[in-house]
Amino acid sequence: MGGLFDDVLKGDEGLFVDELALDYDYIPKEIPYRENQQHYIADCMKPLFNSRSGRNLFIFGSPGIGKTAAIKYIFRELENNTDDVIPIYVNCWKKDSSYKVLMDICDQIGYKWTHNKRTDELMRVISTILNKKSVVICLDEVDRVKELDILYSLCEDLTKKVILVLANDRNWLANLDARVRSRLMAESLEFKPYNFDEIKGILKKRIDYAFVPDIWENEALDVVNKKCYTAKDIRVGLFLLRESGNLAEMKSSKKIIAEYASSAVSKLEEFKIKDCDEFDPEAQRILELVKENSGLKISDLYNLYGNDMSYRTFYRKIEELDKNNMIDMGDKKGKSPVVNYSKKLTEF
């Protein structure tokens, strides 16, 4: 009888060169097919180099089509070119209130004396620090924020700035409070979904970064391309590339064939039963809480949640997320099971 690990691909036989290149947060050396949008955004920011405010932008488009990647690429270029313009990126999925946004900004600019300070006090501190230079602030997933009174203050109190607001909802700007909207005076820029050839080109680039050369069979890549195009979400393609590679390595195969890609598609369809957007706001916030505190008991998560919701309702929403494969409650033994966040299941 052979050993359990006799057929494992050893050492330099592995199929991955840099698996991190398949992370959606990975920013490659270039962002293909978004050059026009990147130049437009950069043009809006260029007055900052001359200590003048640029043009604010509302950037919208469906998830997984390169909005965030384009901004982070531009911020990287900005940091490589000047120390006089401060780039600040805030993910509003995690920072879903004016106070949390300002706390994140304080953290990024190195201001630590935030204890017991009110929102208006934090804003005064931030404007004092940032007005010494120029600043570009990106509020990503801004449509997740419960209230954005602070947006008016950012427009009013910062003297040399560009404010970028990113949203999936094209109607977000139109629905913004008229007072804030008139102060923001944002131009609109739409990111349209990638077409089939663009998706094929993007995934081919990621394969070049992530895998040993010449291990992907054309038929396998066709399976991934078609599924990614149907989903209209590059993150789906990246998931399928990684899972196909993992399945090939499990089989000790030195080629990634259509069988493995099809199996990866089946796994995707099994896991992605329900999209995060389909849950109510409370369930979405609980999901984010689990993500930030994976491995805690439900009772401990409930104490951290700090809401008027009853424990029974909280438990029921945890069960709903577990049922839809967004989190993992394990074997559910005891009154307060441990809850784990699984990036594999929720990253779409």
Q: What is the C-alpha to C-alpha distance for residues 255 and 260, in angstroms, rounded to an integer?
A: 10
- 336 burial (CB, 10 Å; 0-12 / 13-18 / 19+) is middle
Complete DSSP assignment for 29-66: S--TT-HHHHHHHHHHHGGGGGTS----EEEE--TTSS
Q: Tell me which of 131, 161, 190 is where a domain ends.
A: 190
Count of domains for the chain:
3
Identify the band that residue 275 occupies on the pLDDT scale cut at 50, 70 and 90.
low
Residue of higher predicted confidence among 7 and 117: 117
Residue 54 lies in a domain: yes
Per mean pLDDT, which of 13-27, 29-43, 84-98, 256-270 is the most reliable?
29-43
Non-local CB neighbours of 343 within 8 Å, separated by 6+ positions? none
Residue of higher predicted confidence among 320 and 9: 320
> What confidence tens digit (pLDDT) does each residue in 66-110 have?
999 999 999 999 999 999 999 999 998 778 889 999 999 999 999
Closest among 89, 62, 75 to 234, alpha carbons compared: 62
Residue 340 lies in a domain: yes
Structural Rg of the chain based on CA atoms? 23
Q: What is the C-alpha to C-alpha distance for residues 307 and 178, in angstroms, rounded to an integer?
A: 30
Q: Tell me which of 190, 210, 226 is where a domain ends.
A: 190
Closest among 27, 146, 50, 162 to 98, alpha carbons compared: 146
Q: What pLDDT is recorded for position 227?
A: 94
Identify the band that residue 3 occupies on the pLDDT scale cut at 50, 70 and 90.
very low
Does 205 lie in the same domain as 59? no
176: domain CATH number is: 3.40.50.300
Helix, strand counts (H, E) of the chain? 15, 8
Mean pLDDT of the 136-158 span = 90
**Domain of 249?**
194-271
Q: Tell me which of 150, 175, 190 is where a domain ends.
A: 190
Q: What pLDDT is recorded for position 340?
A: 79
Identify the band that residue 4 occupies on the pLDDT scale cut at 50, 70 and 90.
very low
Does 221 lie in the same domain as 75? no
Non-local CB neighbours of 160 within 8 Å, separated by 6+ positions? 48, 51, 52, 53, 131, 133, 134, 135
**Are the C-beta atoms of residues 298 and 339 closer than 8 Å to each other?**
yes
Does 134 lie in the same domain as 254? no
Does 210 lie in the same domain as 94? no
CA atoms within 13 Å, Cβ hemisphere of 110? 3
Residue of higher predicted confidence among 166 and 341: 166
Q: What pLDDT is recorded for position 347?
A: 42
Per mean pLDDT, which of 22-26, 113-117, 124-128, 320-324 is the most reliable?
124-128
Token pair belonging to 317: 């929403």
Q: What is the C-alpha to C-alpha distance for residues 161 and 88, in angstroms, rounded to an integer?
A: 11
Residue of higher predicted confidence among 115 and 342: 115
pTM of the entire structure? Answer: 0.75
> What confidence tens digit (pLDDT) does each residue in 213-246 have?
999 999 999 999 999 999 889 999 999 999 999 9
